[in-house]
Amino acid sequence: MAGVNAVPITARGLRKRYGSVRALDDVDLEVRPGEFLTLLGPSGSGKTTLLMVLAGFIRPDQGSLLFGDEEVIRLAPHKRNIGMVFQNYALFPHMDVAGNVAYPLILRGLKGPALAERVERALETVQLSGYGERRIDALSGGQRQRVALARAIVFEPRIVLMDEPLSALDKQLRERMQIELRRLHDKLGTTTIYVTHDQREALTMSDRIAVINEGRIQQLDTPRALYERPISRFVAEFIGESTVLNVTVGPSRDSCICAGQVLKLAQTASREGAALLMLRPERLKVLAADAQIQQGQNQLQARVVDNVYQGDSFLLQAQLTDGSVIGLRGIAGTAELAALPARGESLRLGFDVSDTVLLADADA
Amino acid sequence: MQMPETRAPADDLHAQALRRDERKERLVLLGLSGPALLLLTVIMILPVAWLLGLSFIGDDGHFTLVHYQRMLDQPSFRRIFFTTFQVSLITTLLCVLAGYPLAYLIAQLPERAASVCLIAILIPFWISVLVRTYAWLVLLQRKGLINQWGIAMGWWDEPLALVHNLTGTLIGMVHIMLPFLVLPLLGAMRSIDMNLIKAASSLGASPARAFRTVFLPLSLPGLIAGSVIVFILCLGFYITPAVLGGGKVIMVSNQIANDIEMFFNWGAASALGVVLLALTLVLLWLAGRLMRLDRMLGGVN
Amino acid sequence: MRDWLNASAGDSQVTHRQRLWLYLVAALVLFFLVAPTLIVVPMSFSASQYLEFPPREWSLRWYRAYWESTEWMQVTKTSFLIGGLTTLLATPLGTLAAYGLFASRLRFARVIHTLLLTPIIVPVVLVAIGVFYAFVRLKLVNSLAGIVFSHSMLAIPLVVLVVNSALKSYDMNQELVARSLGASRPRAFFTITLPQIRFALLTSALLAFLTSFDEVIMAQFIAGGDNSTLTRKMFSSLRDQIDPTIAAISTLMIVVTTVLLGLTQLLGRAKK
């Protein structure tokens, strides 16, 4: 799906310190040509710093950055041929829409009808045809965002960088724009780096996600792999809902003990002993008292502590004998709700072995 | 594949080059203020430093404190500083008395009325001090407008000596300095949250009490800032006392100018100058501490 | 009238009647500020030597005296020339300095910023004699260049203050975007930032001009001879006798100041 211009990005050993704070702690990153990669992390994790290093606005203390084969780490931002979209759009208020979109083309020496044609085409791509003469302050938030986009892609950059471009929009508009952005990316095929703290957004839009915390990339993987096989507690808890339990891996390393009960593991553990187990609430089922356990299934006995009705789903809290609480999420259909045990009653939880995932025990 | 630049050793990863780039960029940006700094250094800092040094050099060219000695010995010295402080203090007080109610009212007015009042303050603010001082000269003289009206209204019989003395100087100074007090004070008052006053009234405070216990303390930082500005400006002021004082009101700056213009007495002038500058700096420093203190107290309240 | 007096003034429960004393005091103070400033204007048209108000007889004699006096015309031209040159020098220097300090985001920038503001802190008379002393030795007394440099030195702090405050409320992200789109730093500054702070630039240019045009004390010492300024001649006239021509000159100065101020206000509003 890579466009003509798309280049891979290779970052090696990026480091940036502010006093005693390590904003970037030896970051390595490989982005494939035409890929939509999201940098996902909480505030202060370093994701925006990394983006700014890619753009050239922050100079790292050391590191190497290749766009394709070209070493760009010392290259000034305006020579890097990147398109950038900021959270607050940063449109030029003293120019109209067409003026904004034409700016990068004018810098590259385009003029006259060729210029006007490119501008119009870019506006069409973001569904703003004919908006050229509008003033910036007459536009809505969503429209401004699209102008910023048009301006960032009109000159066919080899890389597009976006810093939380949708966080200023309301929920409905944001979800619509997520799909539009992704569609635009598919059409243009440019390598895109997207920064966000919203894990749902990341899961929706990305080819791959780099989860960042404390200046380090915790895990770089496809959305599904991140969701189903998180390697650390941080990733497990940052993406989606999860319950993390303390377990002990047995000598055979293909099963573990959890609150006195045996569970088969999805993958062979690297070593025996103490470990962390992750369960996703929606992957658990309430088993009927007489139901048989299937071949690829695990079960846990627990006691119902609480049940929260949330409209389309319910969240059940069940406690194990060792005190830890597991969350179970299910569809709140009439039949399902009726079948649920009451508070204080015991309960059998069933889940697939393939959903029984160990995390790296080093807490990240 | 062609590499556009030589590769640094693998474990260095451009660290030195990047540091150099960063330093260069910082220098260029700071360097933009270079021309302005150069001008200031050459035209102001060096000459003033030179001049201040001059106060310590005697006629024989050696280090001496004789200028300061002479300055302290002269009876006029005490008079000059007394006059300077007297004028500055009274001017500041009068500005506070006249300016606070004005600022208070403007802060309460709706936007359009407030803008009109602000223009009325800004117009004299922008017009040359010389022009305004001249206007007072014309108004206050024996045959001037004030005396004409006063006599015509029967308020007094003989023309009052309103100019070429302390009275005229004070009137002129207050007129010049008033905007310097009102503008910062107004700024501070505008940032006071009126909800606090409403809260006080809802708790049972009368308007006068609400003002005294809530508004007044909160406006104090702005008042202090304005007063300090006015006082420091008065200390070094020259034009108005020279014109409206008629030679009878000699403030420090007037004396310094006289020392040079009439006597070419660089030693005396520079010694006085050092004292004036030192006074100004001390006051600024004190004002700085006061402001911080006040902000702390305001915060506790 | 009675209704208004009893109506509430603003959101508190204080009525206009209770506030009447405040209105009176404020009105008096405003009158005190404005009237003397403007009273010179009508008085300058009085035919009599004694500058009456209101003038018994209207006349343009003092304006004619000003206009026809080669001396007054000469110093006026000089003042405008020096004012213009000062503006041309101080505005770019101050603007670049303010921008450079703002964009560098270094702690050291604060030191330089304070240094640039020192001409406001140091009493002008000190600077005046200091510069006089230096100029005597450098043979720059009464030279055009010397006066322009000295006035620029006084004007630069004002330019720095105005431009700095405009930059603080400006979204620097726009410059970053411009650079990401392919503009070098200088180009981004000139095409994106500068147009948006042009109102501040205009105001600071005006301030620079007025600072120079109205400057009295330094002119006393270093603006004499062929390069005497208007203010210098006015000041010495004031100390000798009250020349009514000065009323006419004052009126003209008031007009010039007000027109320039009005222009900047209008242009600022036009921008919005």
- The ipTM is 0.86
Nearest chain A residue to C173, by CA: A90
Evaluate if residue B160 carries a pLDDT over 60. Answer: yes
A67 touches chain C (CB under 8 A): no
b or e along A279-318 (b: 16 or more beta carbons within 10 Å of the residue's beta carbon)?
bbbbbbbbbeeeeeeeeebbbbebebeebeeeeeebbbbb
Chains near C with 3+ CB pairs less than 8 A apart are A, B
Q: Are C153 and B39 in contact (CB under 8 A)?
A: yes
Q: What Cα–Cα distance (Å) separates residue C153 from each residue in B45, B257, C52, C112, C200?
A: 10, 20, 40, 15, 19
| Per-residue pLDDT at B141 | 84
Q: Which two tokens stand for residue B238?
A: 């020259």
Nearest to C208 by CA among C101, C85, C126: C85
**Average pLDDT of the residues in A320-341:** 86
| Per-residue pLDDT at C8 | 67
Band of pLDDT at residue B192, cut at 50, 70 and 90: confident
Per residue in C190-220, pLDDT tens? 999 999 998 899 999 999 999 999 999 999 8
Q: What kind of fold does domain A9-229 have according to CATH?
A: Rossmann fold (3.40.50)
| Per-residue pLDDT at B301 | 35
Evaluate if residue C159 carries a pLDDT over 90. Answer: yes
Evaluate if residue C34 carries a pLDDT over 60. Answer: yes
Task: List the beta bridge partners of residue A230.
Answer: none
Interface B-C: count of C-beta contacts within 8 A: 242
Q: Are A273 and A249 in contact (CB under 8 A)?
A: yes
Q: Which two tokens stand for residue B81?
A: 């500083």
- Report how far residue A194's alpha carbon sits from residue A183's, in angstroms, rounded to the nearest whole number: 14
Could you say which of 2.40.50.140, 1.20.1250.20, 3.30.1300.10, 3.40.640.10 is the CATH number of the domain covering A241-359?
A: 2.40.50.140
Cβ–Cβ of C12/B132 closer than 8 Å? no
| Per-residue pLDDT at B293 | 62
Give the mean pLDDT of chain B: 85
Q: Which residues in C lie closer than 8 A to residue A161 (C-beta atoms)?
A: 180
Chain A segment 90-119 residues within 8 A of B by beta carbon are none
CATH of domain B66-300: 1.10.3720.10
Nearest to B260 by CA among C222, C146, C225: C222
Length of chain B: 301
Place of tokens 């003289």: B141
Least-confidence region, from A64-68, A352-356, B201-205, C248-252: B201-205
Cβ–Cβ of A86/C176 closer than 8 Å? yes
| Per-residue pLDDT at A364 | 36
Per residue in B121-140, pLDDT tens? 988 888 889 999 989 988 88
Tell me the one-letter amino acid at B179. Answer: P
Band of pLDDT at residue B266, cut at 50, 70 and 90: confident
Least-confidence region, from A2-16, A153-167, A267-281, C12-26: C12-26
Cβ–Cβ of C181/A55 closer than 8 Å? no
Cβ–Cβ of C39/B130 closer than 8 Å? no
| Per-residue pLDDT at A2 | 55
Per residue in B59-80, pLDDT tens? 777 788 888 888 888 888 888 8
Cβ–Cβ of C180/A77 closer than 8 Å? yes
Q: Which two tokens stand for residue A147?
A: 């102008």
Higher per-residue pLDDT: B7 or C146: C146
Give the mean pLDDT of chain A: 90
Distance from C174 to chain A by nearest Cα, in Å? 5
Q: Where along chain C do the CATH 1.10.3720.10 domains lie?
A: 69-240
Q: Are C97 and B38 in contact (CB under 8 A)?
A: no
Least-confidence region, from A93-97, B13-17, B176-180: B13-17
**Average pLDDT of the residues in A285-289:** 83
Cβ–Cβ of A73/B14 closer than 8 Å? yes
Q: What kind of fold does domain C69-240 have according to CATH?
A: MetI-like fold (1.10.3720)
Q: Could you tell me the residue ranges of all domains in chain B?
A: 66-300
Higher per-residue pLDDT: B164 or A1: B164
| Per-residue pLDDT at B202 | 85
C195 touches chain A (CB under 8 A): yes
| Per-residue pLDDT at B71 | 81
Nearest chain B residue to A11, by CA: B13
Q: Are strands A82-85 and A159-163 parallel, antiparallel or unpaired?
A: parallel
Least-confidence region, from A164-168, B175-179, C75-79, C96-100: A164-168
Terminal-to-terminal C-alpha distance of chain A: 34
Cβ–Cβ of A78/C181 closer than 8 Å? yes
Per residue in A300-315, pLDDT tens? 889 999 988 888 889 9
Higher per-residue pLDDT: A334 or A186: A186
Band of pLDDT at residue B2, cut at 50, 70 and 90: very low
Band of pLDDT at residue C270, cut at 50, 70 and 90: low
Band of pLDDT at residue B299, cut at 50, 70 and 90: very low
- Report how far residue A341's alpha carbon sits from residue A347's, in angstroms, rounded to the nearest whole number: 7
| Per-residue pLDDT at A361 | 55
Band of pLDDT at residue C96, cut at 50, 70 and 90: very high
Band of pLDDT at residue B170, cut at 50, 70 and 90: very high
C53 touches chain B (CB under 8 A): yes
Q: Are strands A62-67 and A70-71 parallel, antiparallel or unpaired?
A: antiparallel
Nearest chain B residue to C236, by CA: B243
Per residue in C50-75, pLDDT tens? 777 777 888 888 899 899 999 999 99
Higher per-residue pLDDT: B82 or A290: B82
Evaluate if residue A292 carries a pLDDT over 90. Answer: no
Chains near A with 3+ CB pairs less than 8 A apart are B, C
Band of pLDDT at residue C98, cut at 50, 70 and 90: very high
Q: Could you tell me the residue ranges of all domains in chain A?
A: 9-229, 241-359
C174 touches chain A (CB under 8 A): yes
Q: Which residues in A lie closer than 8 A to residue B13 (C-beta atoms)?
A: 12-13, 62-64
